[in-house]
Amino acid sequence: MKTIEHFVNGNSFLGSSKRTSDVFNPATGEVSAKVNLASKKDVDDVVAVAKNAFIKWSQVSPLQRSRILFKFKNLIEQNTDELTKLIVSEHGKVYDDAKGSLTRGLEVVEFACGIPHLLKGEFTENVGGGVDSWSIRQPLGVCAGITPFNFPAMVPMWMFPLAIACGNTFILKPSEKDPSCPLMLGKLLKEAGLPDGVFNVVNGDKESVDSLLSNPDVSAISFVGSTPIAKYIYENAAKFEKRVQALGGAKNHCVVMPDADLDQTVAGLMGAAYGSAGERCMAQSVAVAIGDIGDELVSRLTKEVQKLKVGPGMDKSSEMGPLVTGQHLEKVTGYIDIGVKEGAKLVVDGRKFQKLQGYEKGFYIGGSLFDHVTPNMRIYKEEIFGPVLSVVRAKDFNEAINLINNHEFGNGVSIFTRDGNSARTFTSHIKVGMVGINIPIPVPMAFHSFGGWKRSLFGDHHVHGMEGVRFYTKLKTVTSRWPTGKASASFTMPTMS
């Protein structure tokens, strides 16, 4: 049985802990490896390594950091197939989806390559008599990222490329469910010329997380995961006086107006609701049908969901792969049970998916479709994180806006319409962080920033883009005057008059 270790100071690191966790191949349901789970001592040792590496790395010029990231970008492109297969083998998503997620992460690396420009400060000459003032942005120190299982390459790359480009060192605590891809990224960074200790990977569970939160030498924490854990990370990181960005859960709505192009809408909803088996925070899990369009929308969706091709991620004909673990499969199945008990109409039942020959133990489920879901139901209120789409009926546009604005989550939302005024009004009045207009998954490009509102984000900064640069740096403002004559003390508030 393969044992997966940590990556510390440029090398594999066994650690002192004897605890391990199973890593599964979701397609077959078999255990493919054991991953070591770090102890508090292991985490503290890694933090010490990163703290020591920061001394030199923070003094490396932004241009030199950029050149290393350019090499890293090239190495990712050269190893795309191997990285993609690692994602498929441990997460289960289909090959093209895994490759696409790697590409979206690579876009952040490309953005971070522009760090010499992104770190330029502001300068004002002669703010007063012979006085100049300017601002600079400097690195924080040791930063840490805690990332989820659903995007083992993309979400870490939302964080560490910018963090190290800004001059910080970084400790990644990826999900123990699919740790191999992050470890390979660490090895590629070393191959690109990144000094040892600047980027480290520590596998673990709550013990590792709590150790990162409490260690005084960790300056900032980035997190992506569920809302209860995001809140826990935010509160505890703040308690230990760290900077924190903690992205939580979602219940993303897609508003379907009566004038919507239904061919485009249904195609968009299918990919957004069932792509990656619904295991993504930007999945569209609620379709809000306005007026009389609901019956036609459900009819078309039903036909498409029934045709959904579910199979192993490496099978090119598969449109949706298995869920990540058997435990998660039970959770998703349990939500379908709850929806039926609550009175929602189960139009397509993914629980009836027939086991695949040769993959009988895999963690498969078909796509599910509910109709006549109401806001008081748990399947509407809670994040299922699986291939389950709920259709809610709303009598008009205003009811749809109120429905969405009253939900505790505010991550992403879309509207499908041909009417520019409806789209503009929707964009202005909706209380959600990322909005799509005839776009089913409104994930911003790397040079913009990603993040939700309300209980979908705890902290003041979104990830990547200029928000990411601001998060991973601290502002320093300098005011300077060179002596030109005799000085005298002043005991009043300084002004520039």
Residues recognised as catalytic: 281
Q: Which residue has the tokens 């520039």?
A: 496
> Are 474 and 125 a contacting pair, CB within 8 Å?
no
> Are 40 and 17 a contacting pair, CB within 8 Å?
no
**Taking the CB of residue 33, how many other CB atoms lie within 10 A of it?**
18
Q: Give, rounded to a whole angstrom, the gap between the first and last alpha carbons of the chain.
A: 74
Q: Which residue has the tokens 């330029």?
A: 120
Q: Can you tell me the distance from the alpha carbon of 220 to that of 144, in angstroms, rounded to the nearest whole number?
A: 6
Q: Can you tell me the distance from the alpha carbon of 129 to that of 119, in angstroms, rounded to the nearest whole number?
A: 28
Which residues neighbour 235 within 8 Å (Cβ) at sequence distance 6 or greater? none
Which residues neighbour 425 within 8 Å (Cβ) at sequence distance 6 or greater? 397
> Are 14 and 5 a contacting pair, CB within 8 Å?
yes
> Are 30 and 48 a contacting pair, CB within 8 Å?
no
> Are 283 and 490 a contacting pair, CB within 8 Å?
no
Q: Which residue has the tokens 């083998």?
A: 89
DSSP string, 129-146: TTEEEEEEEEE-SEEEEE
CA 30, chain centre distance (Å): 27
Of 158, 32, 139, 241, nearest in space to 446 by CA: 158
Q: Can you tell me the distance from the alpha carbon of 301 to that of 389, in angstroms, rounded to the nearest whole number?
A: 10
**Taking the CB of residue 424, how many other CB atoms lie within 10 A of it?**
11
Of 310, 358, 313, 329, nearest in space to 90 by CA: 313
DSSP string, 97-164: HHHHHHHHHHHHHHHHTTHHHHT---EEEEEETTEEEEEEEEE-SEEEEE--SS-TTHHHHHHHHHHH
Q: Can you tell me the distance from the alpha carbon of 341 to that of 377, in angstroms, rounded to the nearest whole number?
A: 10
Which residues neighbour 489 within 8 Å (Cβ) at sequence distance 6 or greater? none
Residue 30 gets which letter from DSSP?
E
